[in-house]
Structure 1
Amino acid sequence: MNKVPPFKKLLEGRNEEILEPQIEILDAQHHLFDRPHLRYMLQEYLNDVNAGHRIVGSVYIETQSMARPDGPEELRPVGEVEFANGVAATARSGIYGACRVAASIVGFVDMTTGDRAAITLDACAAVVPQRFKGVRHIAMSHPDESVLRFLTHRPPPDLLKSPGFHAAFKHVSKRGLSFDATVLHHQLPEVGELAAAFPDTMIVLDHAGLATAIPDKAGSQAEAFQEWRANMQALSRHENVFCKISGLGTSYWGFGFIEREAPVGYRELAEAWKPYVETAIELFGANRSMMGSNYPNDGRSCGFVPLWNALKYIVRDYSLSEKAALFRDTAQRVYRVDLQ
């Protein structure tokens, strides 16, 4: 049981100086929800967006929030893309600032349902024709339950190998949508198999493949890094896979910031994150890598301002074109984001 409340660090670090404030950021992953343990809706996100970094837009990624409470099972996820589209329209009005929140939307589709996934996909596209650009069904699986302790919706084990998954994926591919793959590092070969089977479909690897350390197991983080790096190297050979550098504030990596009572500044974050961020960019290149806040989930470890400062600090010696790709251009191209 953690002593520190899970989201205590959400507001920390707003007094930090903003590094390279001129860099335009398209936040490649964030969530909005209203749950008993946390309310994080448009206003909360705007409070973070307006804290100093130049966030010009964002990609909304599903968390099965605001799903329809009744009706056919296949149509319940439509509620979330409708909600996100409403948020996008509100932000697009300009009344709340220049940031195009939820400019592209990645919705939930139950990928175990085979051909019936088409019902969900077409319904989402019908209600959100301009912004619905991709789908996600979290596929994280691990025999140690403690690893998945913060996961709100548990996927079925071995989702990517489940009956019906490839049939469902064919419908995703046929509609020109992207797929966000959220897995742990030992599952990366499965993502590679998927990429090989569907070479014309863009697959976004969420959270840089989550090099997962086993809680309380000595040496687990070092072991995970070596296996993760080898798996990432193999996966990077698939040109249709893009790496989203996000989720570094989650528990899976074993950095220990969640359990910390004291605030965490950007330099300490950067020191811990640097080997993973630099390795991901080395393997995938800036034109196939993108940055995301994964807020509010990463708020378990650090504030929004230190998070972006840390990512900027790690790549401070990169070229201007590489920084533009990492912080804006790659996400804009992959998720086909309209920032106008």
Structure 2
Amino acid sequence: MSTTATEQKHAVPHIPVRPEWLAQRAEAALEPGLPIIDAHHHLWEFPDKRYRTRDLLDDLASGHNIRATVFVECKTHYDTDAPVELASAGEMRFALAEAREAKALGATADVGAAFVGNADLLRGDAVGPVLDHLIEASEGRLRSIRNIAVWHADPDVRPSAATPPARLLLDPAFRAGVAQLAPRKLAFDAWLIHTQLPELCGLAEAASDTPIVLNHIGGPLALGRYRGQRDAVFAAWRDDIRRVAQYPNVHVKLGGFGMPLFGFGFEKTALPPDSASVADAIRPYVETCIDAFGAARCMFESNFPVDKGSFGYGIAWNAFKRVSAGLPDADRAALFHDTAARFYRITG
């Protein structure tokens, strides 16, 4: 399958991956036996970038004990010959083929053990048959649906190339679509920014029977008007994260820290950052989420290859291990493996 012009326009403005730059920093894996489920990664092929199974396996060879991974939708390989509401089934078939290739190549990790797909939940009740079609196309690996909700009124604040309507999570039609998930044992992956966290509270209350996982800790912004306002943004984000955590059906993914919206600037240094530097930068955010949600509702994610513009795969997992050092063994097991296994129904 080739990537279409429609897919290209959805390409996110990520930090470019520079293999020569990344190669300047290598670390041995800390605690190499610790079981890990990578709760969020992509596989894609666009005109300007490619990250397929073989690329992922190269990253998995960093020495960490990656037992399984979760493929997350990224609008690649849509079926342009299908009705528009069913086009994303092409991405499920693509992810399934990639997972099979990983197995054929002898991967020790269960690549794509679970899929996060895309269906337009604004279709309301009518999205039900679409969800059934995606479950079939994924051969039962579909576990969650993601509709990117990232929106801000200021055009200078653009952390995502997605263009959803304002207040998507509050739309009655959207909530009717979300109501179709739980009967099919599907969850909802929420991707939004910190100014939208109150909207997530409303959705969590309205869809209390639906498991929800907040991607990338809810995107505390350092773009546009928020640049140079880290302390104020952190305080606002922290307060709303604590409110979100009051809803027991909501979980959170700890990652995405290599994206431009966080403003850490890892990619601007002559050498790639080491894991200690990354851990120091992300520690306040990770600790706030764990304190608010508890380890049983937190899961680490690589967000690769998006974060690969800022640091290597092994560096990311070493940073997560450093920032969680000192926690009880049961909490660390949850953060690295057990929460994702339970949320996405992954065995092994």
Alignment of 1:122 onto 2:132: yes
* Residues 199 and 305 of structure 1, relative CA distance in 2, 3 Å threshold: same
Partner of 1:31: 42
Counterpart selection for 1:141 from 126, 144, 151: 151
1:259, distance to aligned residue in structure 2 (A): 3.4
SS in structure 1 opposite 2:299? strand
Contact kept? 2:53, 2:99, Cα under 8 Å: no
Q: Structure 1-normalised TM-score?
A: 0.93
Deviation per CA, 1:197-253: give whole Å up to 9, x if none. Answer: 111110001011111123475641111100000000011011100111011111111
Partner of 2:109: 99
SS in structure 2 opposite 1:298? helix
Counterpart selection for 1:53 from 52, 64, 67: 64
Alignment of 1:197 onto 2:171: no
* Residues 145 and 8 of structure 1, relative CA distance in 2, 3 Å threshold: farther
What is the identity, as a one-letter code, of the residue corresponding to 2:91?
Answer: E
> 1:108-257, aligned counterparts within 5 Å?
108-148=118-158, 151-215=160-224, 219-257=228-266
Alignment of 1:40 onto 2:51: yes
1:14, distance to aligned residue in structure 2 (A): 5.7
1: CA distance, partners of 2:314 / 2:55 = 14
What is the identity, as a one-letter code, of the residue corresponding to 1:305?
Answer: G
Q: Quick check: 241-250 or 115-124, which moved more?
A: 115-124
Q: Structure 2-normalised TM-score?
A: 0.91
Counterpart selection for 1:333 from 332, 342, 346: 342
SS in structure 1 opposite 2:75? coil
Identity of aligned residues (%): 37
Partner of 2:10: none
Q: Quick check: 274-283 or 208-217, which moved more?
A: 208-217
1:48, distance to aligned residue in structure 2 (A): 0.2
What is the identity, as a one-letter code, of the residue corresponding to 1:185?
Answer: H
SS in structure 2 opposite 1:113? helix
What is the identity, as a one-letter code, of the residue corresponding to 1:171?
Answer: Q
1:183, distance to aligned residue in structure 2 (A): 0.6
2: CA distance, partners of 1:142 / 1:13 = 37
1: CA distance, partners of 2:15 / 2:321 = 27
Alignment of 1:77 onto 2:102: no
The unaligned stretches of length 5 or more in structure 1 are: none
Contact kept? 2:119, 2:127, Cα under 8 Å: yes
1:163, distance to aligned residue in structure 2 (A): 4.8
SS in structure 1 opposite 2:243? helix
2: CA distance, partners of 1:101 / 1:119 = 27
2: CA distance, partners of 1:166 / 1:132 = 20
Partner of 1:87: 98
The unaligned stretches of length 5 or more in structure 2 are: 1-13
* Residues 161 and 87 of structure 1, relative CA distance in 2, 3 Å threshold: same
Contact kept? 2:227, 2:263, Cα under 8 Å: no
Higher RCO structure, 1 or 2 (CA under 8 Å, sep 6+): 1
Contact kept? 2:57, 2:102, Cα under 8 Å: no
Contact kept? 2:267, 2:309, Cα under 8 Å: yes
Deviation per CA, 1:165-218: give whole Å up to 9, x if none. Answer: 011111112212000000101111111111111111100010111111234756
SS in structure 1 opposite 2:157? helix
2: CA distance, partners of 1:121 / 1:131 = 12
2: CA distance, partners of 1:63 / 1:44 = 16
Contact kept? 1:214, 1:221, Cα under 8 Å: no
Question: What is the RMSD of the two structures over their aligned residues, measured on CA atoms?
Answer: 1.8
Deviation per CA, 1:146-165: give whole Å up to 9, x if none. Answer: 4325x343323322123520
Contact kept? 1:251, 1:258, Cα under 8 Å: no
What is the identity, as a one-letter code, of the residue corresponding to 1:164?
Answer: A
Contact kept? 1:77, 1:120, Cα under 8 Å: no
